[in-house]
Each structure stands twice: as C-alpha cells, then as structure tokens.
Amino acid sequence: MRLGIISALAEEQHGLIEALYSPAKQIHGMREYTSGKLWEIDAVCVLSRIGKVAAAMTAAILVEKFGVTHIIFTGVAGSGDKNVKVGDIVVADTLVQHDFDASPLFPRFEIPLTGLSSFATDVALTEKLAGAAAPVARVHRGLIASGDQFIGKSTQIQALKAALPDVLAVEMEGAAVAQVCFELGIPFAVIRTISDNANDDAAVDFMHFIKTVASRYAFDVIRNFCRCGAGGNPWSL
C-alpha cells in the first residue's frame, strides 16, 4: 500500500507533514507533495487547494506521478442533515457532484459516460477509516455532496436537500476525487469533520472551527488508521 492523503486546506493537514518520517518534498503543478513513512505506512501528503478541478488534478497526479495505490481525502464540511452536528465526523459511503446537471441529455447528477450519479467508496478502506474515527468523534456514514460552491445560505442547503434528501454533508472536493479514483481503479475513502451547518452562519462557524479544532481531527484519525487502531492492518488492504 502506498497511501495518498489529500486535504484542501493547510489546517486540515496540520501535524501530518511533521509526523512523516524521512520526508521528501516535491513541487509539481503548484502543489507540494511530501512523501515519507507515516507510522510505518508509505504515504504521500498534499494540499489539493479548493474545489473539484483542483482536487481532481491532485488525485490524478498522486496516482500517475507518485504511484499511490489508495487515496484518503480528509477535511471539513458543512452539515447536510439535522442529526449531523458540528464536531461530528461523516465518512462517505457514496459521493455525488451536486452541481452537475447535463439534463435533459442525461439525468440530473449523472456523470456522462459512466452511467453513475454517485460513486461508492472502497468498502474495506472506508470501514477501517470509520473505525479509526470512532474514538475521535461521533461518526455518521452515508452520502456526501460536492460542488464548486461554499454552501452558506439556508436557502441553498434547503434546495440541495430537496434534490438530494440523503445528503449528510456538503463540501467542495470529495466527489471529484471519487470520479478520478473510479476511472483509474484506485480504492479511496473520504472523511469529513463537520465545521458548520451550511446555513446563514456557515462562514463564521467555518472560520472559527478551522482556526480552533479542525487540525486535531485529521491528525488523530489518520494516526489511528495508520497504527491499526481500527483493529486491522492497513497493509492487508
């Protein structure tokens, strides 16, 4: 296993680079890829920057240039469900690009030529990640929606929920990584800590969360994952 770990923001990656043993940095396409050993796992950490194109490019380069065999995206997200609270964790089972609409040529949300409107994460990787997250926060499993929009108005999240009632969290990168990994045949998983409620208070809540607590979550979950705290050896994936 060679694990690619993508985050969108520096705060989401905090501590991971420092935890890499024997780190080697390489700049490519305006991203800094840091390779090394993360608690015995061969890993490459990178910041994708924000949005679907940025995330898709980063995922493709991780696979094609850095030879990763598995990808985890770790970051923050807005809540898409009243039971999903700030500080909870959502681990994706499936992801949808909520702003994709080629109708009437294709059904709304369907990605042309894939026949899919959502992409499933790798079951084994997702199980291990959810196990690693369980000691850190309350964990929900389900649908994450991604789009090139910060959802920061109650009317926006209501409209999104009306179209996609099962959504648990909204963010801006996960489903793009999902499509790339699907097309390249790479097992992947997405984990998001809830930073805001994707409503009129979202921008303020997001900034507060990212400054104060966001960083601990990613670090603790990835450490548990790599140390097999979830009760399984990631090497066997």
Binding site for ligand SAH (CB under 6 A): 8-9, 50, 75-78, 150-152, 170-173, 195-196, 198, 202, 206
Beta carbon nearer to ligand SAH, 129 or 228 = 129
Residues assigned a catalytic role: 12, 196
- Show the tokens assigned to 46: 């990178």
Using CA atoms, how far apart are residues 143 and 178, in angstroms rounded to an integer? 12
Alpha-helical (H) ranges within 2-79 are 10-13, 16-19, 52-64
End-to-end CA distance of the chain: 7
Beta carbon nearer to ligand SAH, 41 or 77 = 77
Alpha-helical (H) ranges within the chain are 10-13, 16-19, 52-64, 123-133, 154-163, 174-184, 202-212, 214-226
Cβ at position 237, least distance to ligand SAH in Å: 25
Q: Which of 214, 186, 199, 193 is CA-nearest to residue 69?
A: 186
Beta carbon nearer to ligand SAH, 34 or 195 = 195
